[in-house]
Structure 1
Amino acid sequence: MRTRPLPAALPPDRLTGLLNRLPDPRTRLSAALAAVHALGSHTQRHLLTEHLDPTRGRLTIRRPGRLDHTVYLDEARHSADPLDLVRLFDISPGTAMRYINTAHPAGPPP
């Protein structure tokens, strides 16, 4: 099996520009789920509102015959501690800091 390299990440300012140009909230949500969480159109078509837990900021992806997948919708906004993100997503500290700086451009929350 041949592996392909991961696509390059879209810089936050370009993603914001894209989302601002889209006509309605549903389209913006779909683009964000695809761009940020890599949820394709097939997966998105099968999402139900009952899969969303807004109090925890989580979306559960139900996949028949496979384990459920939990998407953390905005973990960087709920935590300004990069170690939380490193542990949760198994990412590098530098990547965690980019998430924190994007989510909190004016500095960490009080």
Structure 2
Amino acid sequence: MDTLEAWIAEGLTDPREITKKHIEDALDPLRGDQARRLHTSLRSLFRALKRERLVFRDPARSVSLTSSRTLPTSLPSDRIAGLLDRLDDPRDRFMVALVAIHALLPGQLVRLLRTDLDRSKGLLRLRRPGRMDHLVYLDAFTLRLATRWELQRHRRWPDSSNPHLFVTRNTAVDDSAPPISAGVVQKPFKRLGLPAGVLRVDRIYDEARHCADPVRLMELFGLSNLSATRYVLSAHPDKRNGPIAP
């Protein structure tokens, strides 16, 4: 690896000397797939060194590639391009967009909190018990839908203390602050005649078909390596007997 050779040339022969700043400096001149490949390689390297107790910390763990991330900018196919035009309610439109564009699970919509959405940064945080949080980088279209829902919510229930991102007329004023039900999430998808699970799979498959990169699927949708690889192999059967570029 050229990066390791460069570090050795600089006199960094002990992996314990490598800091987060060294990782960031190595990634800084790279973009796109090159940056993702190097980042993945360094993460794997330091995880292995930590397992062998050759290092005590992983300097690559807290390094992200937010600056080089490519965001989805539109609905992924003609099949769902006009989908949201068939819905009037801002809450329903926002929920469907999060599934159709960003491949969220219905259960994740139920659990989202208002504090998970940072519209100023275009970020949505998915809290995953037992796993690292996944950050969803929202496109401009979805952010507009998020703003419309927040405005409607404030107009209807300005005094609501429910911390959940999505509420109904009942949960908004309930002092126990319950989340919405799974039925509320499924309602707009039933109206469209497209189950949420089908839309989610279609979105991930569409991305796999265009990029054939499991690392990108992991970054965009928070998939495991195994799930991401399965999507790529499904979209590109010709890769079943050959290497898949990380």
Q: TM-score range by the shorter chain?
A: 0.5 to 0.7
| 2:86 alignment partner, one of 4, 12, 21 | 21
Indicate the structure whose relative CO is greater, using CA pairs within 8 Å and at least 6 residues apart.
Answer: 2
| 1:59 alignment partner, one of 108, 124, 128 | 124
Segments of 5+ residues of structure 2 without an aligned counterpart are: 1-74, 142-210, 218-246
TM-score, normalising length: structure 2 = 0.26
SS in structure 2 opposite 1:38? coil
Larger Rg: 2
- Give the C-alpha shift of residue 23 in structure 1: 2.4
Counterpart residue number, 1:36: 101
In structure 2, relative to structure 1, the CA distance for the partners of 1:74 and 1:10 (3 Å cut) is closer
SS in structure 1 opposite 2:101? helix
Counterpart residue number, 1:108: none
SS in structure 2 opposite 1:60? strand
Give the share of equivalent positions with the same residue, in percent: 48
- Give the C-alpha shift of residue 67 in structure 1: 0.6
Counterpart residue number, 2:135: 70
- Give the C-alpha shift of residue 16 in structure 1: 3.9
SS in structure 2 opposite 1:37? coil
Root-mean-square deviation (Å): 2.7
Counterpart residue number, 1:3: none
Counterpart residue number, 2:204: none
TM-score, normalising length: structure 1 = 0.55
- Structure 1 segments, 4+ long, off by >6 Å, are none
**1:63-90: CA deviations, max 9, x gaps?**
11111000000179xxxxxxxxx9xx84
- Give the C-alpha shift of residue 20 in structure 1: 1.0
